[in-house]
Amino acid sequence: MKSVLRSIGAGALALALVLSTSASAQVGKGLVDFNSAPEKELSGLPNMTPAIVKAIVAARPYPTIVPLNAMLTQQGLTEPQRTELYRRAFVHVNLNTGTGDEILLIPGAGKRMAHEFDEYRPWRNWAHFDKEIGKYVDQKEVERLKQYVFIPINLNTAADDVFLTIPGVGPKMVHEFNEYRPWKSQAHFEKEIGKYVDQKEVARLWRYMVIQ
């Protein structure tokens, strides 16, 4: 009987670990990130021209999708063209602070989903997102929406696999994130990470972070 219980306990633990891991990724995957994608990748997106690509890169990083959307409008892209583009590329929305204007630029989100994103704040992890947004749409749509959003990453406790969900972040930067713990402030982050990348890249990385 004890061996059976041990087996059951081990199975439950393994399941819990799997569920924990699946819920830990904090930045949605699947879309090109406007802030970190190379010019060649941007050039392959719908409705891109060399001039538009150059303009996108010159103004990076974008704090949200809203100023990028304004720039693309000025560049002459129509709303249908921008929507087509946003099905392939985006600037992730912070689930805990993103505005309605940001969320409404997610193709197919609409005012109802903007309300639900706000309703369940603060978001903690993907399991929380699956549970609450899954009340309104099927799992396929939940997964599609995840591509557009992120839950702020705690610099002082996040695991390496969580940091690696940030577009453009590799093992070397993860090492630096761990090296300077405990993080005390944004200024501390800017000082230490600024030793390795320029201030534009520091700003891009910081938008994914929170210190708790």
What is residue 19's predicted lDDT score, i.e. its pLDDT?
Answer: 39
Place of tokens 């005012």: 111
Cα–Cα dist 15/8, whole Å? 10
129 contacts 142 by C-beta, under 8 angstroms: yes
What is residue 25's predicted lDDT score, i.e. its pLDDT?
Answer: 63
What is residue 12's predicted lDDT score, i.e. its pLDDT?
Answer: 44
What is residue 98's predicted lDDT score, i.e. its pLDDT?
Answer: 97
194 contacts 205 by C-beta, under 8 angstroms: no
Q: What is the mean pLDDT of each run of 10 residues along the chain (212 residues)?
A: 44 40 73 98 98 97 98 98 98 98 98 97 96 98 98 96 96 98 98 97 97 93
Instruction: Measure Cα distances from 90 to 37, 102, 112, 146 in Å.
Output: 11, 10, 20, 12
Supply 96's token pair: 């805990």
What is residue 7's predicted lDDT score, i.e. its pLDDT?
Answer: 43
What is residue 108's predicted lDDT score, i.e. its pLDDT?
Answer: 97
The model's pTM is 0.87
What is residue 13's predicted lDDT score, i.e. its pLDDT?
Answer: 39
156 contacts 181 by C-beta, under 8 angstroms: yes
